[in-house]
Chain A
Amino acid sequence: MNDSELQDMLKAARTPDHDQAYWDASAEQVMRNLGRRRLEHATPDGWLGPIAWGSAVALACVAIGFGIGHGDRGAVARLLQPEQQLRREWAVVPQRLGVVMQDEHGLHQLVADSY
């Protein structure tokens, strides 16, 4: 087989033939895929959505943490207040502090008249 025969054979070899409907469907598929890909890249849901959601969650965590931190400090202060008051009373009337009780109005002590 010489070069010319080979060239003729290669040029004559046909690839599978398709009707016009196939080509129309194929072109439409390209455009559909393209539209889908553009949507994936263009809308916030594609990549901006998770970032926005992540930022919102992080911000909420910081706010909650900040609130809890402040809340804790308030609670600790409230718990420490009677203890400080007791110490003061104890310093004023040592050995005479009989009963200690606390209600919604605060801390109450019953001081004995004598030792």
Chain B
Amino acid sequence: MRETDAALARRSREGDAAAFELLVRSHQRMIHSLTYRMTGSPADAEDLAQETFLRAYEQLGSFRGEARFSTWLYRIAINACLNWRQRENRRSQVYAAWAESAEALQTPAEAQSPDEQVQTALMKLPPKQRAAIVLTVCDGLDHREAAHALGSSVATVAWRVFAAKAKLKRLLAKSRSDE
């Protein structure tokens, strides 16, 4: 029988590295998917997934089993992604001119696959709105779980999802009409 995440987390806390590796292996696809949707870059997604699991190990003592382990892990990953955004914003101020020229070289909307169009539209959302829509729609968390992962209230999550949907509809409709 498969051991529960809570039991594996307890064993990991007691120093069982094999138990933690099982947790990593069972959640790595979910975390990679989240970090990719938050960054739009496979390389950054991998770095942030690594960072998420390292932070998770360090913070295992704070997991008390009140929420699902995956929700707790989502929270760590989202924080890592939002911090990454702040670092990226600072970096992008320095390289603003370079970023402009890079944007000019991006694939035009009409040449993008539907997956790429969705990712491009997601990247145009403010990070917290993006996190809210990714958690609730793409990953299927309910608003309460998403609120726990985002460290905000359910009402805030609901508002961010509403705002993100409105913006995504405009962006994706425009992408379709450009095709």
Contacts and interface: CB of A to CB of B under 8 A. Distances in A.
A11 B138 contact: yes
Interface in A6-54: 6-7, 9-16, 18, 23, 26-27, 29-31, 33-35, 37
Interface of A: prevailing SS: helix
A34 B17 contact: yes
A15 B21 contact: no
A93 B53 CA distance: 94
B21 A23 contact: no
Contacts, number: 69
A13 B169 contact: no
A21 B173 CA distance: 38
B32 interface: yes
Nearest to B137: A10
B133 A30 contact: no
A30 B165 contact: no
A31 B49 contact: no
B2 interface: no
A13 B50 contact: no
B114 interface: yes
A11 B138 CA distance: 5
A27 B24 contact: yes
Nearest to B26: A27
B38 to A, nearest CB: 11
Contacts of A1: 169, 172-173, 176
A23 B28 contact: yes
Contact of B172 (A6, A14, A26, A29): A6
B71 interface: no
A26 B137 contact: no
B28 A26 contact: yes
B115 interface: yes
A39 B53 CA distance: 17
B36 interface: yes
B72 interface: no
Contact of A9 (B24, B42, B172): B172
B37 A31 contact: no
Minimum-distance CB pairs A-B, first 7: A13-B118, A15-B36, A30-B53, A15-B33, A1-B169, A10-B137, A13-B115
27 contacts: A1-B169, A1-B176, A6-B137, A6-B168, A6-B172, A9-B172, A10-B118, A10-B133, A10-B168, A13-B115, A14-B115, A16-B36, A16-B42, A18-B32, A23-B25, A23-B28, A23-B29, A26-B32, A26-B50, A27-B24, A27-B25, A30-B21, A30-B28, A30-B53, A31-B17, A31-B21, A33-B54
Interface of A: 1, 3, 6-7, 9-16, 18, 23, 26-27, 29-31, 33-35, 37
